[in-house]
Structure 1
Amino acid sequence: NLDIIIIGINPGLFAAYKGHHYAGPGNHFWKCLYLSGLTSEQMTADEDYKLLQVGIGFTNMVQRATKGSADLTRKEIKEGSQILLEKLQHFKPKIAVFNGKLIFEVFSGKKDFNFGRQPDLVDGT
């Protein structure tokens, strides 16, 4: 059981090649994660497996790797959103973190929202 699930739109090509989340050389994810206080040490993408030990995991709305999210089809995004909802309902992480405004807009269907904690969208999460 995960305390926190971090949700991306889909893997980038470099992350897919490396086999690690947020692996691009210019990606600030790992530094931001550390600065947020969720980890006690600065990690790299190669150490993403360590997050499972502290109850943090990853998933993506769409599993297909692309150069950018603009390369995804509407069908992929719609189907991926439904699959993501089913995952959240089944696994019930305590917190679902949507990494980016676009992915939350797509998942929730809301365009008007503030960043930060949202009202419950999925029972148990």
Structure 2
Amino acid sequence: MSLAPTALPDIIGPDLDVLFCGLNPGLTSAATGHSFANRSNRFWRAIHLAGFTQVQLKPEEDRTLLDYRCGLTTAAPRPTVSAGELSRSEFTTGAAALKAKIETYTPHYVAFLGKPAYAAITGQRQLSWGRQSDRFGGAQVWILPNPSGLNRAFQLDALVAAYRELHDALSR
């Protein structure tokens, strides 16, 4: 009997510089219990090259991210092969819980990894990459490209440049 994959636990603590908010867990991550565990996902490489971590963390070291004043959560808890399998309502349903987490832990920034979750939560159709003019749960909002290997619109260098913008904003 195989168990259905479950949602990932948050990696979160008080007063983080940034809470990275993925769209939802991938099946590999849900099965292993570690964020961004699929080999094709570029999250760990991108945050290292952008300056968030001194070394490139492995998925099984995901809790170490807290040592760098960064955390992880997801906008929708249901694991899927692709975020395209999620409905808009899954993001809007999870919005209150996400907002409560942000209000409780007070990160300076919440960085949505991709536009779909934030677009669904706010009802905005036209979103730009980078810093947003509004706040969510008291945190400044930043939208970053999704690091999934399925996201062919952003090669690694463009992904790192986008993540570095956030890192540089935190340094100011």
Fold conserved between structures, TM > 0.5: yes
Q: Deviations over 1:39-72 (max 9, x none)?
A: 1111121111111112111111111212222333
Backbone CA RMSD of aligned residues: 1.6
By how many angstroms is 1:81 displaced? 1.8
By how many angstroms is 1:123 displaced? 5.2
Secondary structure at 1:121's aligned position in 2? strand
- Measured in 2, the distance between the counterparts of 1:73 and 1:27 equals 22
TM-score, normalised via structure 1 length: 0.89
- Measured in 1, the distance between the counterparts of 2:95 and 2:82 equals 17
Secondary structure at 2:136's aligned position in 1? coil
TM-score, normalised via structure 2 length: 0.66
Secondary structure at 2:95's aligned position in 1? helix
By how many angstroms is 1:17 displaced? 0.8
Q: Deviations over 1:93-120 (max 9, x none)?
A: 1110100122221233222222111113
**How many residue pairs end up in the alignment?**
125
Paired residues of 1:108 and 1:121 also in contact (CA < 8 A): no
Aligned to 1:58: 72
Instruction: Determine whether 1:22 maps to 2:36.
Output: yes
Equivalent residue letter for 2:133: P
With a CA cutoff of 8 Å and minimum separation of 6, indicate the structure with the bigger relative contact order. 1
Change (3 A) 1:75 1:108: closer
Secondary structure at 1:119's aligned position in 2? strand
Percent of pairs with identical residues: 34
Secondary structure at 2:71's aligned position in 1? strand
- Say which structure is richer in strand: 2
Moved more, 70-79 or 102-111: 70-79
